[in-house]
Chain A
Amino acid sequence: MSISKTDTTGAQTVAPATIASVRGLKVHFRSKAGRVHAVDGVDFDVRDGETLGLVGETGCGKSVTGRAFLRLLPVPPGILAGGSVMFRPQTSCGGCGGEGCAQCGGSGRRPTPCPTCRGQGCPDCQGTGAETLDLLKVSDKQMRGIRGDRIAMIFQDPGKALNPTLTIGEQLGEVFLQHRSVDLLEEAGIDSGESGFQAGALRRLAGQRDRRTDRMAAALWPPLRRRAQSVRQALDNRIAAALGETQIPNPRNIMRSYPHELSGGMRQRVMIAQALACDPDLIIADEPTTALDVTVQARILDLIGQLQAKRGSSVIYISHDLSVVRRICDRVAVMYAGRVVEIGETDQIFNDPRHPYTKGLLAAVPTTRTPRGKLAAIPGSVPELVDPKPSCRFADRCAQVHAACTASDPILSAVNPGHDVACFLEHPTSPKTEAAE
């Protein structure tokens, strides 16, 4: 029996509550040389309201893991080869209306009750009583409902992730139209009980399900046009508010400009506004500051931190920049060659690294004590991930490699409470099996 902290079979006792847990996630890619095991059995939990750092070198699978939450795999077809991504969507706390009270632990959110057992605890929700969805198995329609609403993503390069041919307002508006059309109609004073062509057309227009006849009617028929315009007004208000929240000056002007007319920092603020538009429970931030100037980075990081704290959302922060991760993350998972090799509190990882790879990674970061010209580097390079044999992925580059390392896979096991490592040096007697499913 594994004593891993990330094991949830014990159900309700897991504290603090986890919003998402990844188990044995495998993503493969087909290439000419064979199957590339880009993500090969990843396990970790994301706790409510925390910032989890996902660090590792380029190609270690951290981005692919992040994208798996939204089931967005790159175009050369990635295959979800196994595992699960369990996600517990949340709703605004009924006790305080999102203000934060004792009932919800001050976050203003609480898990959505499981629809099968109404919060009593059943196999569907793994006994937690909270609605639990396997993001790899839900229907496409359900997935679309989650994307942008419950889970949002901030992309690495806002210059590429914003469509150059649409205005900022058009792009930001899509999120509201997709997920908040009911609210928009309400704000525009359209009664939800109303029926007939006008109401139907307005509903279709607000939900981006408009037909050509609806658009023509809205353009030509004055009464409908007036009401469509009031929906438009409500939408514009929301867009401006969302932009304003990210401290963009003059949001009503920015709305009408195109991405190429903004600076990199501004674009990333737009991306953040877009991601946070629907108060998501979980935000996947994929190296959100890498493409930015160093001077802008700090401000963007602060902004993400502020908005996250205000909403009580959880963040998965994907990065290769250890100094940033140390600054903003509560916990850190270190990934190497498609596996999590070490996971723990930020302090534990940075002050007491156990895995030789983590140690090497930290040694490679220059500090004030590093002598000039003496930057440490880990010898060798990331192994080919084509049809890997069962062995520690780091064995080829590890200075402390021994017989067990090349014979089987080490699995994540606790070295301290909340601190797990997958290394035979820490667990000489560790069971020689595949990582726990």
Chain B
Amino acid sequence: MANTNIEGAPIRRRQDSALRVRLRRGGELLGLILSNPTTVFGLILIFGMLGMALFAPWLTQANTPDPYQMPRDWGALRMPPGTPGHPLGTTNTGGDVLYGVIWGSRTSLQLSIVVVGVTVVIGTAIGSIAGMVGGKVDEILMRIVDVFLSIPELIFALAIAAILGPSFTNIILSLCLVFWVKYARIMRAQIILVKQNDYVDAARVIGDSRLNIYFRDILPNAATPLVVQATLDMGAIVLIGATLSFIGLSESGIAEWGVLVSEGQAGIASGRWWASTFPGLMIFLWALAFNLLGDGLRDALDPRTESRR
């Protein structure tokens, strides 16, 4: 600005320093997160599995026409780990376990990103409306939320997926229908909490528009627990999705960890342990990684941890 007016100058400077403060805070936060070895371990696991999902076509020969279908090697049924060409062995139907493990990370990534993305957006929107508008709207929305919360998550998703018919897409859909409720509730509680802060009143006194107050003062301050919950759910959703697949709500033959565990189950009586073990281990590591990261985030973002040290 060429001719800085008297009023403009200090405001600009204030915003500058606010930005700098935010950047410094971000650096501190990152430092705090990285100072916890278990969180770092979780991050390394996550990067490992993201890398696996990203480079799947280079790590293995993609199956044609659909790479998410398990390739079948009818010449090598029920081979143990270490077989040439099948380092983790093959399933009863000649599926390469390693292929399933690698492409399963893509399936899981799709599942978790779509479900978390969709439910966070829906949940934030509904929770925000309830929290900001209040009154009758809040009352009605929360009664609906209460009804949804009366059914345990997995059982609700199971029922929906069953009614929609067995397919992986329907699993994603059913999880979306179930998981938004949690976010809506957290968001509403947070907004009501943040709304009581003096700076919100201050903004209102200045005459800011409601939408402005919401996006500038309320949402950023209310979002913290949502971020932690979303991180934890990145793991939880894969866990629940795999459970639904295991019960039999996916198409059989797709490269999905839960399906693979389920198909490998038949062989354990005859000592073929590998077909279930490796894909299951992947589910465990995936959930573990996001749980560790989520815990680390919660500790770093919780203002009380400072004093607890």
A31–B309 alpha-carbon span in the complex (Å): 8
Residue of B nearest to A76 (CB): B309
Nearest A residue to B309 via CB reads A76
CA distance A32 to B309 in the complex (A): 9
How far apart are the CA atoms of A76 and B306 in the complex, in Å? 12
Give chain A residues whose Cβ lies under 8 Å from the Cβ of B309. 31-32, 76
The CA-CA distance from A351 to B254 in the complex, in Å, is 89
- In chain B, positions 288-309 with a C-beta closer than 8 Å to chain A are 309
Chain B residue at smallest Cβ distance from A75:
B308
Hey, which chain B residues are within 8 Å of A76, CB to CB?
A: 309
Say which size band chain B's interface belongs to. Answer: under 10
| B35 nearest in chain A by CB position | A32
Min CB distance B36 to A, Å, is: 13
B-facing residues in A1-52 (Cβ within 8 Å): 31-32
Interface range for A: under 10
What residue of chain B has the Cβ atom nearest to residue A32's Cβ? B309
A31 neighbours in B (Cβ, 8 Å):
309
A431 to chain B, nearest CB (A): 39
From residue A63, how far is it (CB to closest CB) to chain B in Å?
Answer: 16
Q: Which residues of B contact A32 (CB under 8 A)?
A: 309
Mark B200-212 against chain A: 1 for CB-CB distance below 8 A, else 0: 0000000000000
- In the bound assembly, the distance between CA atoms of A76 and B309 in angstroms comes to 7
Interface membership of chain A positions 60-95, coded 1 if the CB is closer than 8 angstroms to chain B and 0 otherwise: 000000000000000010000000000000000000
Q: How far apart are the CA atoms of A31 and B308 in the complex, in Å?
A: 12
Question: Who on chain B is nearest to A31 by CB?
Answer: B309
Smallest CB separation, A29 vs chain B (Å):
11
Q: How far is the CB of A30 from chain B (nearest CB, A)?
A: 10
A36 to nearest B CB, angstroms? 12
Residue of A nearest to B307 (CB): A76
Complex interface residues of chain B between 258 and 309 (CB less than 8 A to chain A): 309
A290–B309 Cα gap in the complex (Å)?
25
Q: A32 → chain B, closest Cβ, in Å?
A: 8
> How far, in angstroms, from A32 to B32 measured CA to CA in the complex?
13
Q: Annotate B206-235 by CB proximity to A: 1 below 8 A, 0 otherwise.
A: 000000000000000000000000000000
Alpha-carbon distance between A31 and B307 when the two chains are bound, in angstroms: 12
Chain B nearest Cβ from A289, distance in angstroms: 24
CB nearest neighbor in A for B308: A76
CB distance from B89 to the nearest CB of A (A): 48
Q: How far is the CA of A76 from the CA of B308 in the complex (A)?
A: 8
Q: Closest CB of chain A to B240's CB: distance in Å?
A: 36
Q: Which of A219-237 contact B (CB under 8 A)?
A: none
For residue B147, give the distance in angstroms from its CB to the closest CB of chain A.
34
- CA–CA, A252 and B309, complex, Å: 42
Q: How far is the CA of A283 from the CA of B122 in the complex (A)?
A: 60
Q: How far is the CB of B136 from chain A (nearest CB, A)?
A: 34
Closest-CB distance, B38 to chain A (whole angstroms) = 18
Q: Tell me, rounded to whole Å, the shortest Cβ–Cβ distance linking A294 to chain B.
A: 25
A122–B39 alpha-carbon span in the complex (Å): 59
Determine how close the nearest CB of chain A comes to the CB of B306; give it in whole angstroms: 12
* A7–B121 alpha-carbon span in the complex (Å): 72
A6–B309 CA distance with the chains assembled, in angstroms: 37
A10-B309 Cα distance, complex, nearest whole Å: 44
Report B85-139 residues with CB < 8 Å from chain A CB.
none
CA distance A433 to B6 in the complex (A): 59
> What is the minimal beta-carbon distance from A313 to any residue of chain B, in angstroms?
34
A85 CB, nearest partner CB in chain B, Å: 28
- Mark interface residues in A240-264 (1 if CB within 8 Å of B CB, else 0): 0000000000000000000000000
Cβ distance B305 to chain A, nearest Cβ, rounded Å = 12
3 interchain pairs, CB-CB under 8 A:
A31-B309, A32-B309, A76-B309
Please give the residue numbers on chain B whose beta carbons come within 8 Å of chain A beta carbons, in ascending order: 309
What are the 3 A-B residue pairs with the smallest beta carbon separation, nearest first? A76-B309, A32-B309, A31-B309
